[in-house]
Amino acid sequence: MGPGVNILGYDGVWEGGTDAPFRRRYFRMIAQAGFRHVRINLYAFKYLDAANQLDPALLRRLDWVLEQTIAAGLIPVIDEHDFEICQADAHSCTTKLKAFWNQVVARYGSRYPEAVYEILNEPGGNINQATWNSIVADTLAIIRKASPHRTVIVAALNTEAPLADRLPTLPDTDRNLIVTVHYYAPMQFTHQGAPWSPEFRSKSPVGWGSMADRLRMSADLEQVGAWARAVRRPIYLGEFGVYDAAPASDRARYVGSIAATAYRLGWPFAYWQFDHDFALYDTVRERWNEPVLRKLVPRGVIKRGE
């Protein structure tokens, strides 16, 4: 899967908009910049009716997104992104999640074989490890009936628990599974100035890049890498990024250090996110954040990797 970027989480395309603000040409532009995949952030639950049936219009729009992604030469990751609902109400989440994946796999079957399914973004909150393992088992059974060989991404719990208490239990016989983790530590740096966070919205400029900073980041990711090697499971770094208010040079340094570690460990990754906030691309001025972009996809890195 290689390097990627998160897209469309807050875009009007799901409501039928065009250039809202994501434009069709951005798919090819993302590929030309050196990315290999996009993680498509889909908040699908609000499109379920009282019987948990998806709005047909949403499915047609998802078709379009998948077709544009594949036409641009990118791998699509369909990420069911309703983490807030799921963290608050595990029972309701389980019902809606099963309904969503039942309809997605019924629609696509073996179509779009390039597409990767991510069961749920950032499980946590009221979803504990036992509940998550149960959800994963049930959802995998749904997916495997229609797509026995589809690559599926399963998240570690998004909690402060020790790593061993966050990792999912996966069937040994299913080797076409990828475990995903997200990384935003330290939050006082990555989320400084974020207006939705009472804790971080008024933070003074916080830097990143000391030897201690780098060692902590490396140790955190290496711990995940050690587990992955022990159980022979691939890892996907599905999110990392820095809010726009951080000092620009430190933001690029942080992103570059994580990307370099992911390349070294052989992990595909997706930067959070293309536009909106934490933005890699300015859709108003129509330009990349070049320092951050080149930390993610240094010139020639894809060519050397192939």
Whole-model pTM: value is: 0.95
Burial pattern 69-94, b for ≥16 Cβ within 10 A else e, equals bbebebbbbbbbbbbebbbeebeebb
Homologous superfamily of 3-305 in CATH? Glycosidases (3.20.20.80)
Please tell me whether residue 173 adopts helix, strand or coil conformation: coil
Helix boundaries (H) for the chain: 25-33, 56-71, 83-88, 90-108, 129-146, 187-190, 211-231, 248-265, 290-296, 301-305
- pLDDT at position 212 is 98
Which parts of the chain sit beneath pLDDT 70? 300-306
> Tell me, what's the pLDDT at 300?
44
Domain boundaries, the chain: 3-305
Token pair for 243 = 């809010």
Cβ atoms of residues 47 and 104 within 8 Å: no
Q: Maximum distance among all alpha carbons in the chain?
A: 54
pLDDT of residue 138: 97
Tell me what pLDDT residue 160 has.
87
Give the integer Cα–Cα distance in Å for 189 and 199.
12
pLDDT at 302: 39
Cα–Cα distance measured from residue 226 to residue 237, given in angstroms and rounded to the nearest whole number? 15
Q: How much is the pLDDT for 305?
A: 31
What confidence score (pLDDT) does residue 276 get?
A: 95
pLDDT of 39 reads 99
